[in-house]
């Protein structure tokens, strides 16, 4: 695609990056086939190709309007278009640049601005989010149906974190909302890794990965969360932790890109690049320990205590929802399914598994109608194979899908933990 970027952006790092990305797009439109919003709305401007065109217009100095903002807001940032694109267009990076500029030019209504400010103030801060969530749970019977769906019982209880006892150590990100919504995910991860000869440790000073704030277009504030995590983790890195383990693929996508987002910060660039190098989704860690896992699974075959296993002699049927952040962001495909299959679960077929469930960070709150349509389609697809449980790999998808199905939705590491118990 030919470009002629405007003076205000041309020579900046963002301008140079956007120009490079725009030039790789050949306008073929293959990406429209897998774009969830184009499938729902049928409008070219709600497709990746249309949005790329809108961003090009903005960067070339043309008028930025509320319509431009609307079509960029409707994008889920699911990055299915990146997986489909034959030219390797890095749409995710381009839309970050485009949205940031549009936000500076198009004011939001007071209600919309308040909503975004409230999300930025509450979600990344467990000290505010946890009591509000607990108050919401207490008042759940009185809440409207839409809100009730969002305030569920915590998905997994914390039943204990093993004492660090191994020479091999890895760090884990606790994140912001996950410890409240599903407090049992990271302890289960610690128990599984403990069985594999790795001690999982966390640093209480680390917090939100920065994604909530960054994707609400406060990108510099989002970078501050990244810097705070780097500061918290650095002593552990110097002490030799093998990896920074992430159990929410949405957070993992951003932590893998810390190096990119802080590349122009002289104080943090090198450290951020090192953290990105060390960042591993938990599925990558387990895959690397496959042989040890098989040994442990072999030795535990005669002592199955998982309620899923005791329910029937047949293999428990699991529908796995692969989050967009896992399959399109981190580009990890088939790994979790292979781990679950080797642990004795039967994976059901999930049609259109490349499509987003509609959670997409704060999308389910800011674009409720589109989000609910995607959720309905996703739940139908997940339930179509008659599973007994749904598994996923990201806290946002877990709580969103749980709001649309009577089946239990779990993080897959909890299934593996139950299997090893």
Report, in Å, the least distance between residue 88 CB and ligand SF4: 8
Q: What DSSP string runs through 13-29?
A: HHHHHHHHHHHH-----
The binder of ligand SF4 chosen from 6, 26, 66, 70 (CB under 6 A): 26
Closest-CA residue to 269 (of 277, 281, 261): 261
Closer to ligand SF4 by Cβ: residue 93 or 410 = 93
Helix axes of 412-420 and 290-300: crossing angle, nearest 10 degrees: 50
Nearer to ligand SF4, 213 or 371 (CB): 371
Identify which range of 79-87, 178-186, 229-237, 378-386 contacts ligand SF4 by CB under 6 A: 79-87
- C-alpha 109/C-alpha 87 separation (Å) is 38
DSSP 34-61: G-HHHHHH--GGGSHHHHHHHHHHHHTT
User: Which phi and psi angles does 156 have, rounded to 5°?
Assistant: -135, 135
Stretch that binds ligand SF4, among 21-29, 115-123, 135-143, 238-246 (CB under 6 A): 21-29
d(CA 413, CA 376): 25
Cβ distance 357 to 377 under 8 Å? no
Q: Tell me the three state secondary structure of residue 188.
A: helix
Which of 5, 9, 35, 243 touches ligand SF4 by CB under 6 A? 35
- Residue with smaller CB distance to ligand SF4, 79 or 280: 79
Pick one of 27, 266, 298, 301: the residue that binds ligand SF4 (CB under 6 A): 27
**Dist CA 289 CA 78 (whole Å):** 29
Q: Interface with ligand SF4 includes 80 (CB under 6 A)?
A: yes
Q: Does residue 72 belong to the site contacting ligand SF4 (CB under 6 A)? A: no
Is 81 among the residues that bind ligand SF4 (CB under 6 A)? Answer: yes
Tell me how far apart the alpha carbons of residues 412 and 321 are, in angstroms, rounded to a whole number: 10
CB of 92 to ligand SF4, least distance (A): 7
In contact, 186 and 179? CB cutoff 8 Å: yes
CA–CA distance, 415 with 412 (Å, rounded to integer): 5
Q: Which stretch binds ligand SF4 (CB under 6 A): 24-32, 191-199, 271-279, 303-311?
A: 24-32
Query: DSSP assignment of 242-298, as one string?
Result: S-EEESSHHHHHHHTTHHHHTTT-TTTHHHHHHHHHHEEEHHHHHHHTHHHHHHHHH
Residue 29 CB, nearest approach to ligand SF4 (Å): 5
Q: Which of 3, 10, 30, 385 binds ligand SF4 (CB under 6 A)?
A: 30
Query: Is 25 a binder of ligand SF4 (CB under 6 A)?
Result: yes
Whether 184 and 158 have beta carbons less than 8 Å apart is answered as yes
Q: Does 53 bind ligand SF4 (CB under 6 A)?
A: no
| C-beta of 229 vs 394, nearer to ligand SF4 | 394
Q: Is 9 an interacting residue with respect to ligand SF4 (CB under 6 A)?
A: no
Q: Is residue 214 involved in binding ligand SF4 (CB under 6 A)? A: no
Distance CA 102, CA 51 (A): 12
Number of residues that bind ligand SF4 (CB under 6 A): 25
Closest distance of CB 260 from ligand SF4, Å: 17
Task: Kindly state whether residue 358 participates in binding ligand SF4, applying the rule CB under 6 A.
Answer: no
Q: Which stretch binds ligand SF4 (CB under 6 A): 76-84, 191-199, 219-227, 245-253?
A: 76-84
**Per CB under 6 A, does 76 bind ligand SF4?**
yes
State the residues that interact with ligand SF4 by CB under 6 A. 25-31, 35-37, 48-49, 51-52, 75-81, 85, 87, 89, 91
């Amino acid at each position: 695609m030919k470009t002629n970027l405007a003076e205000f952006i041309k020579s900046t790092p963002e301008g140079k990056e956007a120009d490079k990305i725009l030039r790789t797009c050949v306008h073929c439109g293959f990406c429209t086939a897998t774009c969830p919003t184009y499938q729902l709305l049928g409008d070219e401007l709600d497709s990746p190709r249309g949005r790329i065109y809108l961003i090009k217009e903005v960067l070339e100095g043309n008028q930025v309007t509320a319509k431009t903002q609307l079509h960029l807001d409707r994008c889920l940032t699911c990055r299915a278009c990146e997986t489909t694109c034959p030219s390797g267009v890095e749409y995710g990076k381009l839309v970050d640049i485009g949205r940031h500029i549009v936000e500076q030019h198009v004011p939001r209504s007071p209600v919309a601005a308040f909503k975004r400010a409230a999300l930025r103030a509450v979600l990344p801060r467990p000290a505010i989010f946890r009591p509000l969530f607990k108050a919401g749970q207490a008042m759940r019977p009185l809440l409207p149906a839409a809100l009730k769906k969002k305030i569920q019982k915590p998905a997994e209880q914390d039943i204990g974190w093993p004492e660090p006892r191994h020479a091999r150590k890895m760090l884990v990100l606790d994140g912001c909302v996950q410890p409240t919504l599903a407090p049992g995910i990271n302890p289960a991860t610690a128990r599984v890794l403990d069985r594999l000869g790795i001690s999982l440790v966390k640093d209480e000073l680390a917090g939100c990965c920065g994604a909530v704030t960054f994707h609400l277009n406060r990108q510099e504030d989002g970078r501050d969360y990244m810097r705070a995590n780097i500061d918290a983790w650095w002593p552990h890195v110097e002490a030799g932790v093998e990896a920074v383990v992430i159990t929410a693929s949405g957070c993992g996508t951003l932590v893998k890109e810390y190096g990119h987002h802080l590349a122009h910060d002289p104080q943090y660039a090198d450290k951020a690049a090192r953290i990105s190098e060390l960042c591993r989704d938990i599925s990558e860690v387990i895959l690397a320990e496959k042989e040890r896992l098989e040994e442990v699974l072999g030795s535990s075959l005669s002592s199955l205590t998982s309620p899923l296993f005791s329910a029937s002699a047949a293999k428990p049927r699991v529908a796995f929802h692969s989050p967009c952040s896992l399959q399109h962001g981190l580009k990890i495909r088939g790994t979790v399914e292979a781990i679950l299959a080797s642990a004795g679960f039967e994976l059901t077929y999930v049609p259109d598994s490349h499509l987003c469930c509609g959670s997409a960070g704060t999308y389910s709150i800011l674009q409720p109608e589109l989000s609910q349509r995607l959720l309905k389609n996703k739940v139908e697809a997940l339930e179509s194979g008659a599973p007994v449980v749904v598994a996923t790999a990201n806290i946002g998808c877990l709580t969103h899908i749980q709001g649309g199905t009577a089946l239990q939705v779990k993080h897959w590491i909890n299934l593996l933990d139950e299997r090893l118990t």
